[in-house]
Structure 1
Amino acid sequence: MKLISTTLTLVLAASLFTQAQNKRSIQVTVNDSTIEKRDTVPGKPVVTYHQVTVDGKTISYKATAGYMPMHDKDDNKLLAKIFYVAYTATNSGQPKEKRPVTFVFNGGPGSASIWLHMGAISPVRVKFADDKGDAPGAPYEYGENPNTWLAFTDLVFIDPVSTGYSRAYKGVDVNQFHGYNEDLASVGDFIRLYITKDERWASPKFIAGESYGTTRAAGLSGYLADRYNIYLNGITLISSVLNFQLIDFKNGNDMPYIYFLPTYANTASYYHKLSPELESLTPAELTKKSEIFANGMYSRFLSLGDQAPADLTNLVIDSLNYFTGIPKDYIRKANERITDFRFFKEVLRDEGKIVGRYDSRFSGEDSDDAGEYPSYDPSDANLNGLFVGAFNAYVRKDLNYRNDIPYEAVTNVWPWSYKNTENAYLDVSETLRGAMTQNPHLKVNMVCGYYDLATPVYNAEYVINHMGLRPDLRGNIIVNYYKAGHMVYVSKETDEKLKADAEVFYKSALK
């Protein structure tokens, strides 16, 4: 999930969502139950048994909810406890050690795995008000997920330290978990421990991450191989951010203006702010058409800086107006550079509305029609009440898990350390390239939403084109596009497509 662009040091942090309850009937066998407190030694995970129907077939599965204790590698001191929920099919017809297992997390940094857990991949899903993905009024509900990936892989949802129910122990400095490298070490060690304790070393291994979770996933592709000799079969990168320079609107960095433009165009088209000619195009067609301008004339104009001639400047202003619907006078005053937050505010200013960052198809009224920046994200607020409450109800009622500390769907983990990338932008595409080179069987599934204004669709194309992969390895990357935003799965149609595309990807990765 979620991603917030800020300064060079970093970029991401997601928002909060809250409450739901389900009245489905499901057979549950309870083996254990516990109430966890912050500084107690983790109790035994809770195990329950359930069923879900996918494509007309009944999948019986075991759900395990609880903590994985994390110890100091030198003195075995307890450092933290990482909360997870695992789903293991019990009637797949495959031996457990041969069935794929996928480790799933969201991003932030500072986000729990609740979004992919309750929105897309697990056997349960929050109930939206409509097929688009609007949240209903409270009280909320959840139900079986007919698009669960449990149909083709076992699942483990991980909440990194400080998120969800995961916590460092009293007296332990949380900064040893709050950083790019520190996070890779703790999540990587969790994965090693899980496949050891659950006897999954022989299983095909996959990772699925969203937003900053794609940064973590790419980093783990190298870390797991280098540190533990754990080689992955596949990685799914949902709304990826692998090169932070592409999303950081900062003086002297013109790249985001180029790579956000196609998403600006699709957003403006969605709200009928463009010409009939452009609005007749599909999102894919409009993306390609706007890319030609963005990577051609506009890129050349930006490279000239203050030396850009007047005739070229006027052509650029006309073209930006053509592709964004933003008034020419505003574009000129903005120095022909429209930042993301200005676009959120400006594209619907004449209607007194702002558009969402995570999903620009969602709009809302702002408190200050004359303001320069939006006061909130309508696509974020749309779901705030839904996910957290759904999870809190589900984990207690269906999984029989109790915990008296707050479930931190998104929490403040700043300062987040990037100590190896000071005075530079974090770029994990090189780590991914190295992992793919050393393990030529590794496959990558990139998931991109046309209305994602947090990690725009054109960014993925840039990253792939600059990884330095030879054609045979380049073929190991597939890119799937969706008429959706950052959380591509909130809409019914795109959630179905996400599952179908993932199943095809897993089959190809297991050949």
Structure 2
Amino acid sequence: MPTSRIALACALVALIATSQPVTAQSRAAENGATTTAPGTTEAPRPNRSVTRHSGTFNGVRVDYRAITGETFLTDEAGKPKAAIFSTSYIREGNDPNRPVTFLFNGGPGSGSLWLHMGAFGPVRVGIPSDARDDGAPPYPMLPNPDSLLDVTDLVFIDPVGTGFSYAMPGTDPSEYWGVTQDARSIAQFIRLWLNEHGRWNAPKYLGGESYGTTRSAAVLNQLEGQYNDVALNGVLLISTVLDFGAGADTPGNEVSYALNLPSMAATAKFHGKIDYPGTVEQLTAETRQWAMQTYLPALMQGNALPPEQRATVRAQLSRYTGISEAWLDRADIRITPQRFYKELLRDRGLTVGRLDSRYTGVDADSAGEGPDNDPSFYGIDAGYTAAMNAYARSTLGYETSRNYVTIGGVRGWDWRLNAGRDSDTYMNVAPYISTALRENSGLRIFVGQGYYDFATPFFAAEYALTRSGFPRDRIQFEYYDSGHMMYIRDEDRAKLSRDIRAFIRQR
């Protein structure tokens, strides 16, 4: 074994104090829960494993249990309808007042492996930090000193149809595939978890990434908008999408062109397509102001925009985006993200990423309108998928024949709110957050955004959360010099960890 492999193995042994092989019998002894033996008629029981570990996080040594496996969601008669897979990291000592944070990713249809194996779990997958492809296996599995286990217990949740979660035979999984349906199931899981672990009076945090921020708002409504309240101390919104109407890149929606512009300017600067002497923070501040005060009013005039004003806007738009005035003139001074990915580096034969525009890719040809694929997704997905499957089955001792559904495990998503009483053409869950803030004086919101993220642009997140009805003093914005998954950049993973740790300690 090469020296580097030996060092890595030793590091993992040091991280994992005790991790015994787990059988169905040992799970039953510790959890009172096993899967049903083949050929029996006994009611199914959740499949779980429990292992014990130690690690150092933010310089603090923590002994903790990892509880990995299923929680059954039941109907009113107590019959299991779905199994939610989760991984809970609980500090030894059973402190009923220790904070707990519930985390999930987005999609909809994505498992929680991204936040789990990339940002906050005690072990992470090591992939390149500088926007390069993750290559082929084996991928390094590294102790993660940036995990939040020094300040909070962590529960990573896979919604139905993602990860190892599934609907029981006889249950239509579409019962869980919708904004409200999904949120209701996650809120049910959280209540069950609080019951099981005796944590009803503990400080509670909810966190999601991408569509997981949409889910966070909807779950917040399910937890705090009912008579049986579960009050939260904080919500973590990482790469935020709340107002789908404002962010829709469709003809006639002029707001989206303005909301995408600062991300385009940051990307153009990163790739050397514009000559801007200041920092990315200064550039994005300048483009925000110009977009709202000059660009959007011009777009809203449509074909009534005077030619001289159009020429002035076109010239400035070119200076901010690196796209030629001739192209902008043909595009009617409107740039969709899909066309920007292809046009910005067309002269180099490259496209830029959607999730993270620092990444570049090479298409089959350079003449098309949009890229073949997103280089910032295919540049990282293999490493995360391999890591989650290997880690769950080995270190966490979870035995299953199921495939871990990384992303894409749901279909026919119901985007309507309030059981269809609200139209799905302008889906906006931000009001759930403003209502919760007004009705819970102890609730605070953390918003983390990457400058190079076109899936959930930072300006769109600001737009959704700075409207009337939102108390600005309880919403904290933080920014990162990376994209949608800012934690893949080493410096930003450390910053994200520091920022959230400080946010939790402020209570």
Query: Contact 1:245–1:255 at 8 Å: present in 2 too?
Result: no
Partner of 1:59 in structure 2? 62
Q: Which residue of 2 aligns with 1:350?
A: 347
Distance 2:218 2:163 in 1: 22
Give the letter aligned to residue 84 of structure 1: S
Question: Which residue of the partner structure matches residue 269 of structure 2?
Answer: 269
Is 1:490 paired with 2:493? no
Give the drift of 1:96: 2.1
Q: Do the aligned residues in 2 keep the contact of 1:37 with 1:404 (CA within 8 Å)?
A: no
Q: Percent identity of the aligned residues?
A: 37
Deviates more, 1:237-246 or 1:257-266: 237-246
Amino acid at match of 2:334: R
Structure 1: unaligned runs, 5 residues or longer = 1-21
Residue of structure 1 equivalent to 2:151: 152
CA apart distance, 1:479 = 0.4
AA aligned to 1:403 is T
Residue 484 of structure 1 and its aligned partner are, at CA, apart by 1.0
The structural deviation recorded for 1:326 is 0.7
Is 1:340–2:337 an aligned residue pair? Answer: yes
Counterpart of 1:485, as a letter, is G
In the alignment, residue 485 of structure 2 is paired with which amino acid?
M
User: Could you tell me the TM-score, scaled by structure 1's length?
Assistant: 0.90
3-state SS of 1:323 partner = helix
Aligned pairs for 1:205-244 within 5 A: 205-227=204-226, 228-244=228-244
Is residue 444 of structure 2 the alignment partner of residue 454 of structure 1? Answer: no
Name the counterpart of 2:201: 202
Partner of 1:374 in structure 2? 371
**Shift in alpha-carbon separation, 1:481–1:130, aligned structure 2, 3 A:** closer
**Where does the alignment leave 5 or more consecutive residues of structure 2 unmatched?**
1-7, 25-33
Moved over 4 A (4+): 34-40, 130-134
Amino acid at match of 2:372: S
Q: 1:255: how far off?
A: 1.1
What residue number does 2:259 align with?
259
RMSD over aligned Cα atoms: 1.8
Native 8 Å contact 2:19 2:395 kept in 1: no
Q: Which whole-Å CA distance do the structure 1 matches of 2:249 and 2:102 have between them?
A: 32
SS at match of 2:242: coil
Q: 1:481 aligns with which of 479, 484, 502?
A: 479
Matched position secondary structure for 1:197: helix
| Preserved contact between residue 28 and residue 398 of structure 1 (Cα < 8 Å) | no
Aligned AA (2:431)? E
Question: Are residues 208 and 317 of structure 1, via their aligned partners in 2, closer, same or farther at CA, if it must alter by over 3 Å?
Answer: same
TM-score by structure 2 length?
0.91
Per-residue deviation, 1:134: 4.9
Q: Distance in 2 between matches of 1:334 and 1:479?
A: 33
Cα 1:500–1:259 change in 2 (3 A) is same
Letter in 1 for 2:487: Y
Aligned to 1:5: none
- Indicate the SS of the match to 1:345: helix
**How many angstroms does 1:397 deviate by?**
1.3
**Residues 80 and 161, structure 1, Cα contact 8 Å, conserved in 2:** yes
Would you say the 8 A contact 1:52–1:60 is kept in 2? yes
Comparing 243-252 and 425-434, the one that deviates more: 243-252
**1:242 touches 1:427 (CA, 8 Å); kept in 2?**
yes
Partner of 1:411: 408
Deviation at residue 33 of structure 1 after TM alignment: 3.2
| CA-CA distance at 1:52 after TM superposition | 1.0
Residue 256 of structure 1: SS of its match in structure 2? helix
Aligned to 2:175: 176
Query: 1:312 deviation in Å?
Result: 1.3
Label 1:301 to 1:130 Cα distance change in 2 as closer, same or farther (>3 A).
closer
Q: Give the counterpart letter for 1:48 in structure 2.
A: T
Q: Which has the higher contact order (CA 8 A, sep 6+)?
A: 1
1:71 partnered with 2:83: no
